[in-house]
Structure 1
């Protein structure tokens, strides 16, 4: 199986980190490659950023079609351009939000999302409405760190644990979802810290949820429905 990861940002800052993280989750024998954008934002933290990233993401999706890959992961918790991508490819394609949230829905009643900045809250609430899971979304908590300021250090875990514990103790969440795919490799640490404090709740890693979801779709030979994601009409388009 060949999995293409699209980083919907410019530059190569996260490429090796993402490649390492995804490779740790996929099955033996699955090939992973990672590409970023030639044009777009340095991170996605607003609707404006998402709109700027869209053309570059769709260009990379078209390239993936031509390269014969088996599945595509757009590594962002805001699911940028995912619906449009499904219109132009028969490959399974997901972002970080949908598979993580659908996984979380099987683990508890109220879902709490841990996110980077207040700017992204309207985007995530809109996605929850689109996926018809708004009634199960208990809370979205922010840790006040920008995407480009995320790290693997104790500060990130401390901030996540603080907000997660507050949400659980307030009765707002039974399951936590890391809302940004840049929160790499910390889900287990957050879950363990919560459990040590007597809060036994699952913490869903969006990257893990996405790539395992894609492997499952490929193995089951599933593709997006053409009665939902219709092929765009032929016409002149200038990207």
Structure 2
């Protein structure tokens, strides 16, 4: 049995909970959820990302101690990803990194459809760092509040329109949902696009990240410790107050 833990940067059970992950479980795959110990509704700025790092480092260390086989960080941006991979020996998967590379394999030009303009420059910078900027058709979407009802007809319509615009005007051939809140939205968005005569590949980051993490575990692959060098006991002791050890 492969045990993968999904960690949300923040604490919001409406964004992520165990019930949401049940469709992705199988007889050979167990999923668990954990949250950063801070009441953040949404991470939308570099400021948030920087301050969130110690909370996530603490959580990935805890996951490895609990014999979890791999970790997925539920966010379409990277929070201290290199540090997280240094902190543990088990695979730590980035949704943004995984989804964009899958999109680049499945098509020529991808678009990221997000739910907040604040993430656009952050995601652009990440795509550059992944070496995929020449494959990026656009990053666009609609501006939503973390407390909005993302299932409302108005919001679904807005997302469909943004997806259609990315395909028709920006020449995207593959779409990536740019928010962890859009879990389980692919069918309804695809239906809306099909009504416009558009058949397009849509990548949902969280299930893609989960199944990639399982692939890494099954293949016995993890981050190279020649690159992601683990901190020694002295370093961990130095930061013990921050990490809560």
- TM-score w.r.t. length of structure 2: 0.90
**Deviation of residue 131 (structure 1)?**
0.9
Question: Hey, what's the Cα distance between the residues in 2 that align with 1:101 and 1:121?
Answer: 14
Question: Hey, what's the Cα distance between the residues in 2 that align with 1:58 and 1:196?
Answer: 44
Q: Does 1:79 align with 2:68?
A: no
What secondary structure, in the 3-state scheme, does the structure 2 residue paired with 1:10 have? coil
- Equivalent position of 1:116 in the other structure: 115
**Deviation of residue 64 (structure 1)?**
0.5
**Deviation of residue 176 (structure 1)?**
0.6
Per mean C-alpha deviation after superposition, the further-off stretch among 149-158 and 50-59 is 149-158
- Equivalent position of 1:14 in the other structure: 15
**Structure 1 residues 25-65: Cα deviation after superposition (integer angstroms, max 9, x where no partner):** 23323222111121363211111111121111111001001
**Deviation of residue 225 (structure 1)?**
1.3
1:189–1:12 distance in 2 versus 1, CA, 3 Å: closer
- Equivalent position of 1:4 in the other structure: 5
What secondary structure, in the 3-state scheme, does the structure 1 residue paired with 2:107 have? coil
Number of residues paired by the alignment?
237
- 8 Å Cα contact 2:156-2:189 kept in structure 1: yes
Question: Hey, what's the Cα distance between the residues in 2 that align with 1:163 and 1:15?
Answer: 24
Structure 1: runs of 5+ lacking an equivalent: none
- 8 Å Cα contact 1:4-1:73 kept in structure 2: yes
1:156–1:20 distance in 2 versus 1, CA, 3 Å: farther
- Equivalent position of 1:197 in the other structure: 196
Per mean C-alpha deviation after superposition, the further-off stretch among 24-33 and 179-188 is 24-33
1:89–1:83 distance in 2 versus 1, CA, 3 Å: same
- Equivalent position of 1:178 in the other structure: 177
Question: Hey, what's the Cα distance between the residues in 2 that align with 1:162 and 1:82?
Answer: 33
Question: Hey, what's the Cα distance between the residues in 1 that align with 2:87 and 2:176?
Answer: 29
Question: Hey, what's the Cα distance between the residues in 2 that align with 1:122 and 1:150?
Answer: 25
- Equivalent position of 1:100 in the other structure: 99
**Deviation of residue 150 (structure 1)?**
5.0
- Equivalent position of 1:48 in the other structure: 47
Question: Hey, what's the Cα distance between the residues in 1 that align with 2:14 and 2:20?
Answer: 14
Question: Hey, what's the Cα distance between the residues in 2 that align with 1:123 and 1:14?
Answer: 20
RMSD: 1.7
- Equivalent position of 2:160 in the other structure: 161
**Structure 1 residues 131-167: Cα deviation after superposition (integer angstroms, max 9, x where no partner):** 1111101100121113342522323321111101011
- Equivalent position of 1:209 in the other structure: 208
**Structure 1 residues 83-102: Cα deviation after superposition (integer angstroms, max 9, x where no partner):** 21111111111132111111
1:114–1:36 distance in 2 versus 1, CA, 3 Å: same
- TM-score w.r.t. length of structure 1: 0.92
Large movers: runs of 4+ above 4 Å:
none
Structure 2: runs of 5+ lacking an equivalent: none
- Equivalent position of 1:138 in the other structure: 137
